[in-house]
Structure 1
Amino acid sequence: MPLTPRPLATAVPLVLASASPARLATLRAAGIEPVVVVSNVDEDAVVAEAADRYGTLAPEDIALLLARAKCEAVAQANDLAGVVLGCDSVLELDGEVHGKPADAAEAVARWRRMRGRTGVLHTGHWLIDDRDDGEGATIGATASTAVHFASLTDEEIEDYVATGEPLQVAGAFTVDGLGGAFVTRIEGDHHNVVGLSLPLLRDLLGDAGIGWFQVAAPRDE
């Protein structure tokens, strides 16, 4: 017998508190068209303040701390009627935290350490339900994915850094761009390496009482 159509759930706008083109592309590919509002968070200051208060932070905690700071900054500074998502990614290598390289020299030095080895890409996700009739949830979590890097030659490293791509991304690499040829294997969520874990986002939305297809399938009411 034919299935009875389910009533349409009310669509919930999603605000992405990130300037990352990769995160935006990931959401769009999943059927979500977010409103992008970029925060002006001083990341170094946020981490330094937290370290002064709590001591040394684990890499995954730094990612979540920065994701929360970006999400809260956007939610507080704007009159929004949806859910706000903040994200931040860092690469852990030898227990050290690496974000975007400061310059080409740092990117080259980092790749010389990374080649032939494995790092862990941590992406913090923070969600705030800023709807007038929402549950007011403010929740977050971090997804972590092991990334195995190829054994690049010095020439390959220098050529890759010369493209400028490693200077624009946490960890100095991409898996969905020019750097994809230098990632031999991952263990965990592929999207998390791009900068946004769709399964984790679904879980956070569910915890806030929001169904996936309320954000992933925009429809006319």
Structure 2
Amino acid sequence: MPRLVLASQSPARLATLKSAGVTPEVVVSGVDEDKVLADATERFGELDPADAVLVLAQAKAEEVASRLEESWADAEAPADGSPADVPADVIVVGCDSMLEIDGTIVGKPADAATARERWRAMRGTKGVLHTGHWVVDLRDDAAGGTGGTLGSTSSTTVWFADIDDDEIDAYVATDEPLHVAGAFTIDGLGGPYVERIEGDHHGVVGISLPLLRELLTDLNIPWRQLRNA
């Protein structure tokens, strides 16, 4: 059975996978997001938000995959001469999310003042939450490995409630908006301030289960193989 490694420290992504019956191992990537985006912009020109999150998701997944392979290569073989016990069935998935409002990319707010300013700008309007997904197949041949590395972006339109300043201040005071892309959640304290969405709910939470299933299918991995026994 394939083992999923989630290259993200997001509790929401982990909880979403667990609710779908998949318990991944979490290995947080160490990529410098600003540098990754700067390098990509230098190579390809200005990135639109859907491409920016995909570039970051790829960087996270491939950095973790590279680190895992290095650790396996350094693994010592047992004294009896048998091969080192290294995983043969690992799949790595990386994700990144950004909110786009009027063509502008919005990530995590730097502080409470920024979160308040952002909510005052987006209340009563809409944005598009982009979540990039990237999958790296580290399985060996015996486990059906393809050596594949591929990804795609989930984009969902989000309509925000027209809340007053007191409500914004109270929400920002919970500290939740400071830790999430776009300064809101749909599955937490920010849920009452999201009036409706058009697209995949899971993509707004941080990982689109239907899109991940499609990517895994392209690697010949049926979703049912990931579910906990």
Which category of TM-score, normalised to the shorter sequence, fits these structures? Answer: over 0.9
Structure 2: which amino acid aligns with 1:92? E
The answer to whether the aligner puts 1:124 opposite 2:132 as a matched pair is yes
Name the aligned partner's letter for residue 23 of structure 1.
R
Residues 80-133 of structure 1: CA deviation (Å, up to 9, x unaligned): 541000000000001000110111111111101110000000000000001112
Aligned partner of 1:63 in structure 2 is 53
1:6 alignment counterpart: none
Kindly state the Cα deviation for residue 152 of structure 1 after the two structures are TM-superposed.
Answer: 1.0
Residues in 2 aligned to 1:48 and 1:101: alpha-carbon distance in whole angstroms: 19
Backbone CA RMSD of aligned residues: 0.8
List runs of 5+ in structure 2 lacking aligned partners.
70-86
Query: 1:169 aligns to what?
Result: 180
Aligned counterpart, 1:148: 159
Residue 25 of structure 1 aligns to a residue in which SS? helix
Q: What secondary structure is seen at the aligned counterpart in 1 of 2:220?
A: coil
TM-score between both structures, scaled by the size of structure 2 = 0.89
2:97 is aligned, of 66, 89, 107, to: 89
Secondary structure at the counterpart of residue 53 of structure 1: helix
- Spell out, residue by residue over 1:17-57, the C-alpha distance to the aligned partner (whole angstroms, 9 max, x if none): 00000000000000001000000111011111111121110
Give the letter aligned to residue 158 of structure 2. Answer: V
> What is the distance in 2 between the residues matched to 1:72 and 1:65?
11
Fraction of identical pairs, as percent: 62
Quick one: distance in 2 between partners of 1:53 and 1:139? 19
Please tell me whether residue 193 in structure 1 is matched to residue 204 in structure 2. Answer: yes
Which residue number in structure 2 is paired with residue 110 of structure 1? 118
Gaps of 5+ in 1: 1-10
Find the residue that maps to 1:202 and give its secondary structure: helix
**1:218 Cα deviation from its structure 2 partner:** 2.8
Match of 1:24 among 6, 9, 14: 14
Moved over 2 A (4+): none
Q: How many Å separate the matches in 1 of 2:50 and 2:167?
A: 30
